[in-house]
Amino acid sequence: MPGMASPEREPDRWAWAEVDLDAVAHNVDEMRRRVAPSEVWVVVKANGYGHGAVPVARSALAAGATGLCVALVREGETLRQAGIDGPIMVLSEQPHDTLDRVLESRLTPTVYTPATVDAISSRATDECGVHLHIDTGMQRVGAHPDDAVAIARRIDAAPGVRLDGVMTHLAVADEPEHDANRIQLDRFDETLEALVAARGAPPHVHAANSAAALAIPRARRSFVRMGIATYGISPGPGVDQFVAGLRPAMRLVARVSHVKRVEAGSHVSYGWRHRFDRPTTVATLPLGYADGVPRRLGTLPDRPGADVLVGGRRCPIVGVVTMDQLMVDVGDLGAEVGDEAVLLGRQGDHEIRAEDWAERLGTIGYEVVCGISARVPRHHLGG
Ligand X SMILES: Cc1ncc(COP(=O)(O)O)c(C=O)c1O
Which positions are catalytic? 45, 270
Number of H helices, E strands in the chain: 12, 20
Rounded-to-10 torsion of CA 239, 241, 242, 246: 120
Cα(130)–Cα(94) distance, rounded to whole angstroms? 13
Q: How far is the CB of 260 from ligand X (least distance, A)?
A: 42
User: Using CA atoms, how far apart are residues 200 and 53, in angstroms rounded to an integer?
Assistant: 35
Q: Name the residue number minimizing CB distance to ligand X.
A: 227
Q: Do 154 and 117 touch, CB atoms closer than 8 A?
A: yes
Footprint on this chain of ligand X (rule: CB under 6 A): 43, 91, 169, 209-211, 225-228, 235
Under a CB-based contact definition with an 8 Å cutoff, are residues 348 and 292 in contact? no
Nearest approach in angstroms of CB 90 to ligand X is 10
If the CB atoms of residues 227 and 286 are measured against ligand X, the closer one turns out to be 227
Q: For residues 70 and 89, what is the distance between their CA atoms, to the nearest angstrom?
A: 6
Tell me the closest approach of the beta carbon of residue 173 to ligand X, in angstroms.
Answer: 7
Full strand arrangement of the beta sheet holding 223-226: 204-206, 161-167, 128-133, 108-111, 88-90, 67-70, 39-43, 223-226
Closer of 61 and 228 to ligand X (Cβ): 228
Q: E strand or H helix at 73, and its extent?
A: helix 73-81
CB of 35 to ligand X, least distance (A): 12
Q: Which residue, among 297, 283, 268, has the nearest Cα to 341 in the 3D structure?
A: 283
End-to-end CA distance of the chain: 31
C-beta of 246 vs 309, nearer to ligand X: 246
Rounded to the nearest 5 percent, the helix, strand and coil shares of the chain are: 35, 25, 40
To ligand X, the closest distance from the beta carbon of 165 in angstroms equals 12
Question: In degrees to the nearest 10, what's the CA dihedral of 178, 181, 186, 192?
Answer: 180
Residue 50 carries which side chain, given as an amino acid letter?
G
| 225 vs 353 by CB, closer to ligand X | 225
E strand or H helix at 169: none
The DSSP H or E segment spanning 99 is: helix 99-104
Nearer to ligand X, 256 or 368 (CB): 368
Could you tell me the smallest distance in angstroms from the CB atom of residue 226 to ligand X? 5
| 223/289 with CB nearer ligand X | 223
